[in-house]
Structure 1
């Protein structure tokens, strides 16, 4: 009796990932209430931490090779330096625009709500916090050019990697027919890396479950109570930007259906939420915009890693709300000039900042120093920042996908039939191609006949 594959895999991967996230929250909150050394050290700090770390590392190991070969394929696929310049210019302008809007709206909401008024700083440990030095705009752009490409690849410096790979891709285009074999090899490696992404994604529900369970087991809900006004204001601002501002921008600039977009970006959002890293989510975001939304790889290979590096909408929103919150806590009136400085600093700091967990707090120290607020105040929000970081990372990668779709649509590099198909790009169950396996075995036997 044969079993239909559709009956044995009734749940889609997206549904499984969402179930993993929900179960992770439930299990994590239960574990947080259990006072057991075994549970804390062996289950949460041992098993969950091990599986979660393995999953995040599996995503990270894909990032650099995927960006290299995907971007090379994309640049050589465009084949026109002027078209590449248009894609880059549009992407940069939209990323800066959305970041500026995000922090401006967040500051406005925070000023209306007024989080931090009447806050009493008792029992807050403010030791060990040092300010990061804000880079000048000249340093930011100068550091885009890598002095050592190998070091850039090793350190995962996305802006430097993107710059170097684009230069190599342009050189390959200029060589014309001499690059034919190189192009073919890059296309094969790109397909190979996307296949590896598919393999890793099949283990996503388990990785997401362990990451979420560990976070909620360690954080609990008690940390939210003292800074509840800050948390509510921040989460409200993040959701407003994600579900309203970005969707309005998507509709205005592309005319596409925002509801369809939200359905298709959901798995990438869950990945971003569980890992709190835009860089680690690059493979999943790339797959969502190309296979699920129909964006051509020549555009997505540039806009997605570029956005993971310079597009920090969620982080900018956190900086805006946190600045207003701490200004209220310390009773300092920053004035219009102070808040304009916050907007400018947040936009500048987002360029070239690594898309890794916790980077938002580093950027916040720059902003607070610039407007004269005590950086020790970060200790007040430090406890809840991990969970807030998870939400704002999901907002960040959503912005990356929105800009990718808009740019692709404007460049006629998008398959609208894929975007309109709700089932396009769904990951199927891992299967073994027995016919291909038999063909390979036959070929091997012919090449090496038995003696």
Structure 2
């Protein structure tokens, strides 16, 4: 027997199992660091998690810019582009309204702030706040450099949209720029894939640091609020989305989760819609959405479609903070919460955390901004479920719109299966594929 044939092949560990292993090991190491007061272990966990998040953020600015530019220019291959874009935005708003209604209902039923034991003295104003004036005037940048250095995703989206529309107007003259943009986007996505492969290690650091820093007492103190956020997100993720898929798109919800699970699980651990965007786009295409439309809808959704961070969470947080500060909210206030969630969700910008959206909601209601400080400590734990809900919605809506426009490949949807990260990475890059023009309804 030759040495080659006698080698034992080590079985490949699925990506979901790597994530789960990092999660469990992170909890154990975090508990050891906290209970044993091991400073070096706690610092190591913090550094591992911070480096992973920093690597994700490093690619955010150029990735968003070129993804939006390429996605807008790809619409030139779609015969009903304007209608697709309009209906995508409409369904974003409809599902956001449903999500915020669920958040308000849960908050009114459970009163998450009344039994927390927290007082106004426990709060502190955040360093960065959001207001409607900032939101409206802040869309337009003062220069082309600051949005990238300051990571102002909303301004980056604005500039990318302007460039994309201008390239469409230029026609054939813009082809060299379009080719370059597609190549740069492919390069950025490849680099981001390498970062995503580190997600199990990043999970270990992020979860371990959270346990070491806050312990279980923090979760007990915010038990009702934490449960409300998870239950609200779960109702949208496993209730509303499947119902819409079954009744509106008339496709199998189970098949959706089978195909989209890699993106959902990565969103849970990375806490970044933009960081998950390449995976979200791949699974959406695998579920039968034409790639020209998916390349528009998914990047657009990654920066504006936030049912977890911009609908469920601010609704519950507003009720929680109002109860802690003993402020009465009326029907008008609840309507304002719904309005802010549906219109202002772009303020979350697909990054980890939803502080800007929360301060926008509180300032609109006139609630004390010190309330934000009450929720910052628990935010990483909440953000995992919020982001998973966001990303699921960013894939569900293109499927619904494609189905209603009769451009969804139902055979491809029916045969989609759960894929690990490596098989998704082996998919052809968008720039290498031949254009396929979906047929209008």
* TM-score over 0.5 for the pair: yes
Match of 2:92 in 1: 95
Q: 2:313 corresponds to which residue?
A: 318
| Segment drifting more, 124-133 vs 21-30 | 124-133
Q: Is the Cα contact below 8 Å between 1:13 and 1:426 reproduced in 2?
A: yes
Q: In structure 2, what is the equivalent of residue 449 of structure 1?
A: none
The match for 1:348 among 335, 343, 347 is 343
Match of residue 300, structure 2, among 306, 310, 319: 306
How far apart, in 2, do the equivalents of 1:224 and 1:318 lie?
Answer: 16
Shifted more, 199-208 versus 324-333: the winner is 324-333
The separation in 2 between residues aligned to 1:409 and 1:17, in whole angstroms, is 32
* TM-score of the pair, normalised by structure 2: 0.82
Question: Residue 55 of structure 2 is aligned with which of 55, 58, 71?
Answer: 58
1:334: Cα distance to partner?
Answer: 1.7
Residue 182 to residue 412, structure 1, CA distance change in 2 (3 Å): farther
Residue 112 of structure 1 corresponds to which residue in structure 2? 109
Indicate the residue corresponding to 1:385 in structure 2: 379
Length, aligned pairs only: 422
Aligned residue for 2:271? Answer: 276
Distance (whole Å) between structure 2 residues aligned to residue 273 and residue 298 of structure 1: 27
Per-residue CA deviations over 1:259-301 (Å, capped at 9, x if unaligned) read: 22223333333333333333333333333333x4343442233
Q: Which moved more, 1:317-326 or 1:366-375?
A: 366-375
2:216 corresponds, among 214, 221, 242, to 221
Between the aligned partners of 1:195 and 1:417, the Cα distance in structure 2 is 29
Structure-1 residue corresponding to 2:73: 76
Corresponding residue of 1:443: none
2:437 corresponds to: none
Q: TM-score, normalised by structure 1?
A: 0.80
Larger Rg computed on CA atoms = 1
Whether 1:192 and 2:187 are equivalent positions in the alignment is yes
Secondary structure class of the residue paired with 1:222: helix
Q: 1:210 to 1:115 in 2, by over 3 A?
A: closer
Alignment partners' CA distance in 1, 2:34 and 2:361:
34
Return the alpha-carbon distance in structure 2 between the equivalents of residues 232 and 29 of structure 1: 21
Distance apart, 1:422 and its partner CA = 1.0
- Are positions 1:373 and 2:367 aligned together? yes
Change (3 A) 1:128 1:186: closer
Within 1, Cα distance between the matches of 2:344 and 2:154? Answer: 14
Q: Distance in 2 between matches of 1:68 and 1:148?
A: 15
Residues in 2 aligned to 1:159 and 1:67: alpha-carbon distance in whole angstroms: 10
Q: Is the 8 A contact 1:268 1:284 kept in 2?
A: yes
Q: Deviations over 1:16-54 (max 9, x none)?
A: 223222332333233332222xxx3x22223x3333233
Give 1:418 shift.
Answer: 4.4
Residues 29, 216 of structure 1: 8 Å contact kept: yes
Structure 1 residues 174-253: aligned runs within 5 Å: 174-253=169-248
Deviation at 1:107, TM superposition (A): 0.9
In the TM superposition, what is the alpha-carbon distance from 1:128 to its structure 2 partner?
4.5
Alpha-carbon contact 2:92-2:305 (below 8 Å) kept: yes
The residue number in structure 1 matching 2:131 is 134
Displacement of 1:135 after TM fit? Answer: 0.8
Report if aligned partners of 1:59, 1:283 keep a CA contact under 8 Å in 2. Answer: no
- SS, match of residue 427 in structure 1: helix
Structure 1: how far apart are the matches of 2:408 and 2:258? 18
Give distance in 2, aligned partners of 1:267 and 1:400.
Answer: 14
Structure 1 CA distance for aligned equivalents of residues 7 and 177 of structure 2: 39
Does the 8 Å CA contact 1:159/1:306 hold for their aligned counterparts? no
SS of the counterpart of 1:268?
Answer: helix
> Is 1:395 aligned with 2:413?
no
Q: How does 1:425-440 map to 2 (within 5 A)?
A: 426-428=421-423
Q: 1:169 offset after TM fit, Å?
A: 3.5
Deviations 1:131-164 (A, max 9, x none): 945215xx74564444533433444433433343
Partners of 2:181 and 2:245 in 1: how far apart? 32
Q: Does 2:31 align with 1:33?
A: no
Task: Evaluate the alpha carbon distance shift between residue 328 and residue 128 of structure 1 in structure 2; reply closer, same or farther with a 3 A threshold.
Answer: closer
Distance 2:176 2:364 in 1: 52
Q: Is residue 158–residue 305 contact of structure 1 (8 Å, CA) maintained in 2?
A: no
Q: Using a 3 Å threshold, how does the CA distance of structure 1 residues 163 and 88 change in structure 2: closer, same or farther?
A: farther
Match of residue 417 from structure 2: 422
Asked if the contact 2:33/2:41 (under 8 Å) is kept, the reply is: no
For residues 424 and 97 of structure 2, the distance between their equivalents in structure 1, rounded to whole angstroms, comes to: 42
* Secondary structure at the counterpart of residue 295 of structure 1: coil
Match 1:359 to one of 354, 365, 376: 354
